[in-house]
Amino acid sequence: MSIKIAIVDDHPKARLHHTEILSNMGLEVVMTAWNGKDFLDQLSLSTTLPDVCLLDVNMPVMNGYQTAETLSSQWKQIRILGYSVDNDEHTRTTMFKSGAHGFVEKFGNPEELRKEILRIAALDIC
């Protein structure tokens, strides 16, 4: 069974970059969005939910923290992997407090990204 991924990031090049990396790893990107509101709107209309949401922290309209809080309450079955170029303790801690199940550097090692996606996809969170 393929792990279905959503990528939520306001930078088109970052969405494309991560879509290519994840697809090359055999993971299926089923949804992309440019901010949290766009993602939540897509989720409410979709019949196919992602297993994991790769969620940028800093975005306009609705940031990663707000999006993670909403996902945690309304779509509990979706695992949240926060990511950001800001890899400081405050960003990581706030993302976890908002509902993230993991956190990686935005343009870090692709193998670490894969491992973290596989780890949180295996979590029993429902």
Give the pLDDT of residue 123. 77
Q: For residue 87, name the pLDDT band (cuts at 50, 70, 90).
A: confident
Q: For residue 125, name the pLDDT band (cuts at 50, 70, 90).
A: low
Residue 75 has pLDDT above 90, yes or no: yes
The pTM (predicted TM-score) of the whole model is: 0.94
Evaluated on CA atoms 91, 59, 25, 123, the torsion sign reads positive
| Cβ neighbours of 1 (radius 10 Å) | 6
List b or e across 49-63, with b for residues whose CB sees 16 or more CB atoms inside 10 angstroms: ebbbbbbbbebeebb
Residue 31 has pLDDT above 80, yes or no: yes
Mean pLDDT of the chain: 94
Q: Where are the domains of the chain?
A: 4-121
Assigned CATH class of 4-121: alpha beta
